[in-house]
């Protein structure tokens, strides 16, 4: 029998705990078991001082000063740590930006009239974007405008323009800082390729120079690849508006064919939602005894669908194996990123079919259905049919769906937030000036089995809203906070008096779901809009970022572009940099002077809240607004 006390330490949620107990009973391995099997993990790697960038290595530097202090080539700890971090940033930025490129390519094909299942759902946004990109819109058909916009955006990936198309959104003081430091992003692919070049043996042997290019690389993601992904997704799938939805494993329905959509890219999942309503497929499901077809989301593909269509969410990163353990999931459809290779192993213990869809992301043991936007709807139907057929193999005796769902609200695009404010940031600025809202914090990022699932997100968020700080969430954090009941208008009662008053007046929750991880760009856009409205730099605003449970290289890129954009960011998991005190000092102290923001690492979410609140009050003071002391005792508040 599984030990429940031990299981309770792994996740704060009952649905996860119930499935973890089942995994133990049935002897099915999960991410937590594999983490235990890896102990002790390599200390050199954890501190960032191991290198295998060439065949003279692998090398490692002894962080305690006794063993070798240089790799075979002569690289010291500073160079090795900076190179490793630079490569992580490039991998994360590439993941986001390649996702952006995939969206852009389908957008271009749509504009050329070559797709099936796609349309321009937000023509107003298309026109606004086109004007921003200096494309003629007057008296022109949307498809014509889309063609020109697609061509212009393609150029952002290359090197010929030397300036990103969205650069105009950045406050001018910030662009001047970037230019002075030589870190203005020139082209998306260019910065990423250059990072790989610089970190090859014998190229950039100055850690400061490498890390500055790390900032530049991340900016090509935040203000480039990710921003293109968000904005074009809005044009093609609709700009999110507030929508009611539900979350947790209770989103699965025993009486229905259950299909989970997992990964990041809305390109295919959006057409799958259309296909699931196909009367023929619904009839097929009914003929097999199901009441209908139920779609649920996982991770950021789930966020994309929840934001735009209110599709219920089964869970975040650490729920991807546990959802299979319900025995009620007939198909898991995956695109790419954050999909554990283990899902096919767990699925084998049940009747679930795993369907991979991206040619660049195949899974041994999965059924591959190659995505092709020219046959989008047909492929969507094919995938739903596979799910319906798998339902016929479901064993009802093995179905265990643990919980009732929790209600949550999603859909807070910048357009929706400004809409709720009457079309201008002014009311938000006024609420901040009056001190009703002390500031705003983006709580974002992943789960990581090294800490209790969702404890970091939920505790930090609760502490912030209690202290009148508006919280903006994306990615797995949004799902965590939704499950904790923090994301309904009624959750305003959890907030401090000032924030609660503002939320009630506007009918919004104190924690706003802004989307998937590429949608962190929405937070950048909102921050820039506030800064531009006030005529200040982003770094002067009472803002912060936090990634309490991050695991992924994408999160490294996000954290870096958030800091490079001028926003103080607190990480809950230690990055692999502590083998170089010089790199730590640069990122946690010196960056503040050159870029107006820095990183901090604080695993305890209560202490992280204190760090953030102090930062917000200091920024308020510098702006001449009322400010107060943050008591240290808040860190341990109940």
How big is the site for ligand BF8, counted in residues (CB under 6 A)? 15
> Distance (Å, rounded) from C-alpha 13 to C-alpha 623?
40
Site map 182..211 versus ligand SF4, x via CB under 6 A: -------------------x----------
> Distance (Å, rounded) from C-alpha 359 to C-alpha 344?
17
296 binds, among ligand SF4, ligand BF8, none (CB under 5 to 8 A by kind): none
51 binds, among ligand SF4, ligand BF8, none (CB under 5 to 8 A by kind): ligand SF4
56 binds, among ligand SF4, ligand BF8, none (CB under 5 to 8 A by kind): ligand SF4
CA angle 331-337-343, nearest 5°? Answer: 40
CA angle 609-611-615, nearest 5°? Answer: 115
Cβ-based nearer residue to ligand BF8, 99 or 198 = 99
Comparing C-alpha atoms, which of 214, 552, 246, 257 is closest to residue 386?
A: 257
| Residue 512 three-state SS | strand
> Distance (Å, rounded) from C-alpha 494 to C-alpha 155?
46
- Given a contact cutoff of 8 angstroms between Cβ atoms, the answer to whether 263 and 300 are in contact is yes
Which part of the chain contacts ligand BF8 (CB under 6 A), choosing from 18-26, 238-246, 340-348, 550-558?
A: 550-558
Q: Least distance to ligand SF4 from the beta carbon of 609, Å? A: 39
Q: Least distance to ligand SF4 from the beta carbon of 64, Å? A: 18
- Given a contact cutoff of 8 angstroms between Cβ atoms, the answer to whether 603 and 451 are in contact is yes
- Given a contact cutoff of 8 angstroms between Cβ atoms, the answer to whether 332 and 347 are in contact is yes
> Distance (Å, rounded) from C-alpha 117 to C-alpha 115?
7
Residue nearest ligand SF4, Cβ-based:
57
72 binds, among ligand BF8, ligand SF4, none (CB under 5 to 8 A by kind): ligand SF4
* Residue 513 CA from chain centroid, whole number: 11
Q: By CB under 6 A, tell whether 475 contacts ligand BF8.
A: yes
Which part of the chain contacts ligand SF4 (CB under 6 A), choosing from 66-74, 316-324, 414-422, 536-544?
A: 66-74
Q: By CB under 6 A, tell whether 67 contacts ligand SF4.
A: no
> Distance (Å, rounded) from C-alpha 547 to C-alpha 570?
6
Phi-psi region of 239 (alpha: psi -120 to 50; beta: other; left: phi over 0): beta
Matching residue, tokens 């820095």: 598
Q: Least distance to ligand BF8 from the beta carbon of 511, Å? A: 16
Residues 445, 509, 515, 548: which binds ligand BF8 (CB under 6 A)? 445
Q: What distances in angstroms separate CA 354 from CA 99, 233, 335, 407, 497, one per listed residue?
A: 21, 25, 11, 28, 47
- Which DSSP string corresponds to 340-391? -TTHHHHHHTSSPEEEE-BTTB--TTSEE----GGGHHHHHHHHHHHHHHHH
Comparing C-alpha atoms, which of 474, 471, 463, 475 is closest to residue 440?
A: 471
Residues from 79 through 118 that contact ligand SF4 (CB under 6 A): 80
Cβ-based nearer residue to ligand SF4, 77 or 343 = 77
Q: By CB under 6 A, tell whether 555 contacts ligand BF8.
A: yes
CB-CB neighbours of 619 under 10 Å: 20
Cβ-based nearer residue to ligand SF4, 50 or 477 = 50
552 binds, among ligand BF8, ligand SF4, none (CB under 5 to 8 A by kind): ligand BF8
> Distance (Å, rounded) from C-alpha 200 to C-alpha 98?
22
Cβ-based nearer residue to ligand BF8, 217 or 552 = 552
Backbone angles phi, psi at 566, to 5 degrees: 105, 20
Matching residue, tokens 């190179």: 83
Q: By CB under 6 A, tell whether 552 contacts ligand BF8.
A: yes
75 binds, among ligand SF4, ligand BF8, none (CB under 5 to 8 A by kind): ligand SF4
Site map 24..63 versus ligand SF4, x via CB under 6 A: ---------------------------xxxx-xxxx----
Site map 307..326 versus ligand BF8, x via CB under 6 A: ---------xx---------
338 binds, among ligand SF4, ligand BF8, none (CB under 5 to 8 A by kind): ligand BF8
- DSSP character for 54? S
Q: What element of type H or E holds 305? A: helix 299-309
Residues 130, 272, 334, 338: which binds ligand BF8 (CB under 6 A)? 338
How big is the site for ligand SF4, counted in residues (CB under 6 A)? 14
317 binds, among ligand SF4, ligand BF8, none (CB under 5 to 8 A by kind): ligand BF8
| Residue 599 three-state SS | strand
Cβ-based nearer residue to ligand BF8, 226 or 580 = 226
> Distance (Å, rounded) from C-alpha 264 to C-alpha 475?
10
Cβ-based nearer residue to ligand BF8, 469 or 518 = 518
Q: Least distance to ligand BF8 from the beta carbon of 506, Å? A: 27
Site map 242..271 versus ligand BF8, x via CB under 6 A: ----------------------x-------
Residues from 517 through 536 that contact ligand BF8 (CB under 6 A): 517
- DSSP character for 326? G
Q: Least distance to ligand BF8 from the beta carbon of 551, Å? A: 6
- Which DSSP string corresponds to 135-168? ---TT--HHHHHHHHHHHHHHHHSSSS-S-TTGG
Matching residue, tokens 């809950």: 572
Residues 46, 72, 128, 584: which binds ligand SF4 (CB under 6 A)? 72
Q: By CB under 6 A, tell whether 420 contacts ligand SF4.
A: no
Cβ-based nearer residue to ligand BF8, 60 or 554 = 554
- Given a contact cutoff of 8 angstroms between Cβ atoms, the answer to whether 240 and 234 are in contact is yes
Can you give the binding site for ligand BF8, defined by CB under 6 A? 264, 299-300, 316-317, 338, 445-446, 475-476, 516-517, 552, 554-555
Can you give the binding site for ligand SF4, defined by CB under 6 A? 51-54, 56-59, 71-73, 75, 80, 201
């Amino acid at each position: 029998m599984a030990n429940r006390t031990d299981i309770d330490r792994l996740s704060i949620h009952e649905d996860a705990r119930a499935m973890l107990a089942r995994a133990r009973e049935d002897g099915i391995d999960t991410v937590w078991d594999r983490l235990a099997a890896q102990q002790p993990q390599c200390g050199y790697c954890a501190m960032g001082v191991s290198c295998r960038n060439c065949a003279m290595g692998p090398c490692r530097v002894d962080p305690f000063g006794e063993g070798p202090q240089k790799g075979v080539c002569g690289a010291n700890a500073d160079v090795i740590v900076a190179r490793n971090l630079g490569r992580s940033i490039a991998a994360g930025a590439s993941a986001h930006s390649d996702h952006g490129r995939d969206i852009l390519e389908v957008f271009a094909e749509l504009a050329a009239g070559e797709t099936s299942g796609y349309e321009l759902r937000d023509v107003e946004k298309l026109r606004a974007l086109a004007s921003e990109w200096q494309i003629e819109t007057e008296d022109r058909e949307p498809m014509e405008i889309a063609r020109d916009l697609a061509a212009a955006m393609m150029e952002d990936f290359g090197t010929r323009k030397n300036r990103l198309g969205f650069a105009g959104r950045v406050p001018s003081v910030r662009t001047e800082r970037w230019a002075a430091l030589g870190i203005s992003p020139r082209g998306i692919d260019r910065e990423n390729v250059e990072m790989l070049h610089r970190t090859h043996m014998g190229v950039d042997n100055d850690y400061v120079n490498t890390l500055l290019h790390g900032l530049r690389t991340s900016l090509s993601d935040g203000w480039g690849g990710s921003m293109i992904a968000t904005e074009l997704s809005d044009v093609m799938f609709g700009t999110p508006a507030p929508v009611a939805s539900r979350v947790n494993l209770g989103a699965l329905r025993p009486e229905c064919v259950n299909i989970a959509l997992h990964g990041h890219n809305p390109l295919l999942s959006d057409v799958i939602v259309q296909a699931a309503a196909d009367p023929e497929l619904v009839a097929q499901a009914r003929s097999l005894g199901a009441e209908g077809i139920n779609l649920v989301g996982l991770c950021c593909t789930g966020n994309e669908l929840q934001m735009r269509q209110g599709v219920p969410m089964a869970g975040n990163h650490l729920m991807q194996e546990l959802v299979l353990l319900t025995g009620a999931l007939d198909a898991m459809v995956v695109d790419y990123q954050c999909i554990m290779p283990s899902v096919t192993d767990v699925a084998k213990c049940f009747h679930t079919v795993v369907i991979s869809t991206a040619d660049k992301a195949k899974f041994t043991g999965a059924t591959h259905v190659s995505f092709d936007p020219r046959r989008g709807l047909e492929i969507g139907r094919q995938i739903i049919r596979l799910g319906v057929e798998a339902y016929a193999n479901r064993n009802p005796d093995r179905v265990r769906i643990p919980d009732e769902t929790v209600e949550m609200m999603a859909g807070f695009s910048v357009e929706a937030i400004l809409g709720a404010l009457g079309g201008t940031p002014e009311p938000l600025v006024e609420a901040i000036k009056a001190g009703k809202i002390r500031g705003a914090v983006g709580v974002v990022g992943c789960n990581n089995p090294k800490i209790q699932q969702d404890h970091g997100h939920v505790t930090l968020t609760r502490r912030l809203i209690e202290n009148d700080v508006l919280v903006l969430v994306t990615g797995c954090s949004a799902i965590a906070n939704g499950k904790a009941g923090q994301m309904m208008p009624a959750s305003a009662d959890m907030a401090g008096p000032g924030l609660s008053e503002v939320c009630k007046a506007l009918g919004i929750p104190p924690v706003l779901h802004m989307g998937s991880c590429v949608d962190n760009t929405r937070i950048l856009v909102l921050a820039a809009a506030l800064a531009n409205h006030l005529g200040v730099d982003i770094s002067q605003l009472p803002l912060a970022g936090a990634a309490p449970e991050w695991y992924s290289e994408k999160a490294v890129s996000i954290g870096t572009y958030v800091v490079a954009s001028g926003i103080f960011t607190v990480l809950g998991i230690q990055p692999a940099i502590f083998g170089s005190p010089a790199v730590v000092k640069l990122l946690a102290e010196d960056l503040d002077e050159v870029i107006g923001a820095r990183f901090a690492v604080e695993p305890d979410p209560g202490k992280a809240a204190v760090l953030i609140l102090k930062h917000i009050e200091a920024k308020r003071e510098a702006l001449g607004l009322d400010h107060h002391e943050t008591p240290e005792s808040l860190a341990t508040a109940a």
